[in-house]
Structure 1
Protein backbone atom coordinates (compact mmCIF):
# COMPACT_ATOMS: atom_id res chain seq x y z
CA UNK A 1 0.00 0.00 0.00
CA UNK A 2 1.32 3.43 -0.97
CA UNK A 3 1.96 6.10 1.60
CA UNK A 4 -0.42 9.06 1.35
CA UNK A 5 0.38 12.04 3.58
CA UNK A 6 -2.76 13.59 5.09
CA UNK A 7 -1.75 17.27 5.08
CA UNK A 8 -0.74 17.41 1.39
CA UNK A 9 -2.74 18.06 -1.75
CA UNK A 10 -2.49 15.79 -4.81
CA UNK A 11 -2.91 15.96 -8.57
CA UNK A 12 -4.57 13.39 -10.79
CA UNK A 13 -1.16 13.01 -12.49
CA UNK A 14 0.34 11.72 -9.18
CA UNK A 15 2.18 14.80 -7.93
CA UNK A 16 1.96 15.91 -4.32
CA UNK A 17 1.71 19.56 -3.29
CA UNK A 18 2.78 21.05 0.03
CA UNK A 19 1.54 24.59 0.61
CA UNK A 20 4.44 26.61 2.04
CA UNK A 21 2.60 29.95 2.22
CA UNK A 22 -0.06 31.84 0.26
CA UNK A 23 2.29 32.24 -2.73
CA UNK A 24 4.57 29.18 -2.76
CA UNK A 25 4.20 25.41 -2.97
CA UNK A 26 6.58 22.46 -2.98
CA UNK A 27 5.98 19.69 -5.56
CA UNK A 28 7.12 16.09 -5.86
CA UNK A 29 5.84 12.79 -7.20
CA UNK A 30 3.80 10.54 -4.95
CA UNK A 31 4.87 7.30 -3.34
CA UNK A 32 2.37 5.53 -5.61
CA UNK A 33 3.98 7.08 -8.72
CA UNK A 34 7.55 6.25 -7.73
CA UNK A 35 6.53 2.67 -6.93
CA UNK A 36 4.90 2.30 -10.35
CA UNK A 37 8.03 3.67 -12.06
CA UNK A 38 10.52 1.46 -10.24
CA UNK A 39 14.13 2.47 -9.69
CA UNK A 40 14.59 6.08 -10.81
CA UNK A 41 17.88 6.67 -12.63
CA UNK A 42 17.55 10.25 -13.96
CA UNK A 43 15.40 13.33 -13.39
CA UNK A 44 15.10 16.23 -15.80
CA UNK A 45 14.37 19.19 -13.53
CA UNK A 46 12.61 22.37 -14.64
CA UNK A 47 14.63 25.57 -15.14
CA UNK A 48 14.63 28.12 -12.32
CA UNK A 49 12.58 31.20 -13.32
CA UNK A 50 10.70 29.26 -16.00
CA UNK A 51 6.94 29.62 -16.21
CA UNK A 52 4.88 26.48 -15.78
CA UNK A 53 1.27 25.82 -16.70
CA UNK A 54 -1.08 23.57 -14.78
CA UNK A 55 -1.30 20.06 -16.23
CA UNK A 56 1.63 20.61 -18.61
CA UNK A 57 5.04 18.93 -18.42
CA UNK A 58 7.72 20.67 -16.36
CA UNK A 59 10.31 17.87 -16.51
CA UNK A 60 10.63 14.11 -16.62
CA UNK A 61 11.58 11.09 -14.58
CA UNK A 62 13.50 8.21 -16.12
CA UNK A 63 13.33 4.83 -14.44
CA UNK A 64 14.48 1.36 -15.37
CA UNK A 65 10.94 0.81 -16.72
CA UNK A 66 10.02 4.03 -18.55
CA UNK A 67 10.34 7.77 -18.97
CA UNK A 68 7.41 9.76 -17.56
CA UNK A 69 6.59 13.44 -17.59
CA UNK A 70 6.37 15.42 -14.38
CA UNK A 71 3.28 17.60 -14.71
CA UNK A 72 2.96 20.94 -12.99
CA UNK A 73 -0.07 20.82 -10.68
CA UNK A 74 -0.44 24.61 -10.89
CA UNK A 75 0.43 27.58 -13.08
CA UNK A 76 3.25 29.76 -11.83
CA UNK A 77 7.02 30.22 -11.84
CA UNK A 78 9.78 27.85 -10.74
CA UNK A 79 11.70 29.52 -7.91
CA UNK A 80 13.77 26.59 -6.63
CA UNK A 81 14.73 23.08 -7.77
CA UNK A 82 16.07 20.15 -5.79
CA UNK A 83 19.63 20.01 -7.17
CA UNK A 84 20.37 16.98 -4.95
CA UNK A 85 18.32 14.93 -7.43
CA UNK A 86 20.87 15.55 -10.20
CA UNK A 87 23.43 13.37 -8.40
CA UNK A 88 20.95 11.24 -6.42
CA UNK A 89 17.70 10.70 -8.36
CA UNK A 90 16.97 7.68 -6.18
CA UNK A 91 15.95 10.10 -3.39
CA UNK A 92 12.54 10.14 -5.09
CA UNK A 93 12.27 6.38 -4.47
CA UNK A 94 13.63 6.54 -0.93
CA UNK A 95 11.88 9.65 0.44
CA UNK A 96 9.32 10.94 -2.08
CA UNK A 97 7.69 13.32 0.43
CA UNK A 98 10.84 14.78 2.01
CA UNK A 99 14.29 14.81 0.40
CA UNK A 100 12.82 13.66 -2.94
CA UNK A 101 10.87 16.87 -3.68
CA UNK A 102 11.21 18.22 -7.24
CA UNK A 103 10.57 21.99 -7.30
CA UNK A 104 9.23 25.00 -5.48
CA UNK A 105 6.69 27.02 -7.45
CA UNK A 106 5.41 30.54 -6.91
CA UNK A 107 1.74 30.13 -7.78
CA UNK A 108 0.00 32.40 -10.26
CA UNK A 109 -2.86 33.38 -7.97
CA UNK A 110 -5.10 32.41 -5.06
CA UNK A 111 -7.24 30.09 -7.18
CA UNK A 112 -4.24 28.09 -8.46
CA UNK A 113 -4.87 25.28 -5.97
CA UNK A 114 -8.50 24.74 -7.01
CA UNK A 115 -9.14 21.31 -8.44
CA UNK A 116 -6.37 19.56 -6.51
CA UNK A 117 -7.26 16.47 -4.52
CA UNK A 118 -7.28 15.93 -0.77
CA UNK A 119 -5.49 12.87 0.62
CA UNK A 120 -8.81 10.98 0.83
CA UNK A 121 -9.71 11.88 -2.76
CA UNK A 122 -6.28 10.79 -3.98
CA UNK A 123 -6.58 7.53 -2.07
CA UNK A 124 -9.88 6.89 -3.88
CA UNK A 125 -8.28 7.78 -7.23
CA UNK A 126 -5.55 5.17 -6.91
CA UNK A 127 -7.95 2.59 -5.53
CA UNK A 128 -6.27 1.93 -2.21
CA UNK A 129 -9.09 3.04 0.06
Structure 2
Protein backbone atom coordinates (compact mmCIF):
# COMPACT_ATOMS: atom_id res chain seq x y z
CA UNK A 1 0.00 0.00 0.00
CA UNK A 2 2.86 2.41 0.80
CA UNK A 3 4.21 1.81 -2.70
CA UNK A 4 0.93 2.88 -4.27
CA UNK A 5 0.84 6.09 -2.23
CA UNK A 6 4.46 6.76 -3.12
CA UNK A 7 3.68 6.30 -6.80
CA UNK A 8 0.66 8.60 -6.54
CA UNK A 9 2.77 11.28 -4.86
CA UNK A 10 5.30 11.05 -7.67
CA UNK A 11 2.58 11.42 -10.29
CA UNK A 12 0.79 14.38 -8.70
CA UNK A 13 3.17 17.08 -9.96
CA UNK A 14 3.02 15.67 -13.48
CA UNK A 15 -0.77 15.52 -13.27
CA UNK A 16 -0.91 19.17 -12.21
CA UNK A 17 0.74 20.12 -15.49
CA UNK A 18 -2.16 18.68 -17.46
CA UNK A 19 -5.20 19.94 -15.57
CA UNK A 20 -5.73 23.24 -17.32
CA UNK A 21 -9.31 23.37 -18.54
CA UNK A 22 -9.00 26.69 -20.38
CA UNK A 23 -8.27 27.68 -23.91
CA UNK A 24 -5.03 29.55 -24.52
CA UNK A 25 -7.03 32.73 -24.99
CA UNK A 26 -8.92 32.27 -21.69
CA UNK A 27 -5.67 31.55 -19.89
CA UNK A 28 -3.97 34.69 -21.24
CA UNK A 29 -7.02 36.78 -20.34
CA UNK A 30 -6.73 35.54 -16.75
CA UNK A 31 -3.05 36.53 -16.84
CA UNK A 32 -4.05 39.94 -18.21
CA UNK A 33 -6.36 40.43 -15.22
CA UNK A 34 -3.48 39.76 -12.83
CA UNK A 35 -1.22 42.16 -14.70
CA UNK A 36 -3.84 44.94 -15.11
CA UNK A 37 -2.87 46.93 -11.98
CA UNK A 38 0.77 47.19 -13.09
CA UNK A 39 0.44 47.15 -16.88
CA UNK A 40 0.48 50.91 -17.51
CA UNK A 41 3.43 51.45 -15.19
CA UNK A 42 5.46 48.75 -16.96
CA UNK A 43 4.46 50.18 -20.37
CA UNK A 44 5.74 53.60 -19.27
CA UNK A 45 8.98 52.17 -17.86
CA UNK A 46 9.81 50.05 -20.90
CA UNK A 47 8.36 51.98 -23.84
CA UNK A 48 6.58 48.91 -25.19
CA UNK A 49 3.53 49.71 -27.32
CA UNK A 50 0.08 48.95 -25.91
CA UNK A 51 -0.64 47.10 -29.17
CA UNK A 52 2.27 44.73 -28.48
CA UNK A 53 0.95 43.90 -25.01
CA UNK A 54 -2.59 43.43 -26.32
CA UNK A 55 -1.34 41.19 -29.16
CA UNK A 56 0.23 38.86 -26.61
CA UNK A 57 -2.90 38.56 -24.49
CA UNK A 58 -5.20 38.24 -27.50
CA UNK A 59 -3.09 36.14 -29.90
CA UNK A 60 0.01 34.93 -27.99
CA UNK A 61 2.25 37.17 -30.13
CA UNK A 62 5.81 37.14 -28.76
CA UNK A 63 7.86 39.70 -30.69
CA UNK A 64 11.63 39.60 -30.41
CA UNK A 65 11.73 43.25 -29.29
CA UNK A 66 13.75 44.73 -26.44
CA UNK A 67 10.84 46.79 -25.08
CA UNK A 68 8.57 43.71 -24.98
CA UNK A 69 11.26 41.66 -23.21
CA UNK A 70 11.72 44.38 -20.61
CA UNK A 71 7.94 44.64 -20.17
CA UNK A 72 7.93 40.93 -19.26
CA UNK A 73 10.78 41.53 -16.83
CA UNK A 74 8.98 44.52 -15.26
CA UNK A 75 5.80 42.46 -14.86
CA UNK A 76 7.76 39.56 -13.42
CA UNK A 77 9.40 41.74 -10.80
CA UNK A 78 6.15 43.40 -9.82
CA UNK A 79 4.20 40.13 -9.66
CA UNK A 80 7.03 38.27 -7.88
CA UNK A 81 7.76 35.54 -10.40
CA UNK A 82 11.19 36.98 -11.26
CA UNK A 83 13.99 38.17 -9.00
CA UNK A 84 16.02 41.36 -9.47
CA UNK A 85 18.65 39.32 -11.32
CA UNK A 86 16.07 37.91 -13.74
CA UNK A 87 16.01 34.48 -12.13
CA UNK A 88 12.72 32.64 -11.63
CA UNK A 89 11.00 33.09 -8.26
CA UNK A 90 8.70 30.10 -7.91
CA UNK A 91 6.65 31.72 -5.14
CA UNK A 92 4.79 33.90 -7.63
CA UNK A 93 4.01 31.58 -10.53
CA UNK A 94 0.98 29.60 -9.39
CA UNK A 95 -1.44 32.53 -9.40
CA UNK A 96 -1.30 32.36 -13.20
CA UNK A 97 -3.83 30.02 -14.83
CA UNK A 98 -2.34 26.74 -16.08
CA UNK A 99 1.09 27.48 -14.57
CA UNK A 100 2.46 25.13 -11.94
CA UNK A 101 5.70 25.04 -9.98
CA UNK A 102 6.84 21.88 -11.83
CA UNK A 103 6.22 23.61 -15.16
CA UNK A 104 8.18 26.67 -14.04
CA UNK A 105 10.98 24.46 -12.70
CA UNK A 106 11.24 22.76 -16.09
CA UNK A 107 12.14 26.16 -17.57
CA UNK A 108 15.01 26.80 -15.13
CA UNK A 109 17.73 27.86 -15.21
CA UNK A 110 17.28 30.52 -17.86
CA UNK A 111 20.47 31.69 -19.55
CA UNK A 112 20.58 35.09 -21.19
CA UNK A 113 22.78 38.18 -21.19
CA UNK A 114 20.48 40.31 -19.02
CA UNK A 115 17.28 40.17 -16.93
CA UNK A 116 15.02 41.30 -19.82
CA UNK A 117 16.28 38.52 -22.09
CA UNK A 118 15.99 35.94 -19.29
CA UNK A 119 12.39 37.01 -18.61
CA UNK A 120 11.55 36.65 -22.30
CA UNK A 121 13.21 33.22 -22.53
CA UNK A 122 11.40 32.06 -19.40
CA UNK A 123 7.99 33.12 -20.72
CA UNK A 124 8.74 31.56 -24.10
CA UNK A 125 9.67 28.27 -22.42
CA UNK A 126 6.54 28.36 -20.27
CA UNK A 127 4.26 28.95 -23.25
CA UNK A 128 6.00 26.26 -25.31
CA UNK A 129 5.48 23.74 -22.49
CA UNK A 130 1.96 24.59 -21.33
CA UNK A 131 -0.56 21.76 -21.60
CA UNK A 132 -2.26 21.76 -24.97
| TM-score, with structure 1 as normaliser | 0.31
Q: Taking CA–CA contacts closer than 8 Å with sequence separation of 6 or more, which of the two structures ends up with the larger relative contact order?
A: 1
Q: Which has the higher strand share?
A: 1
| TM-score, with structure 2 as normaliser | 0.30
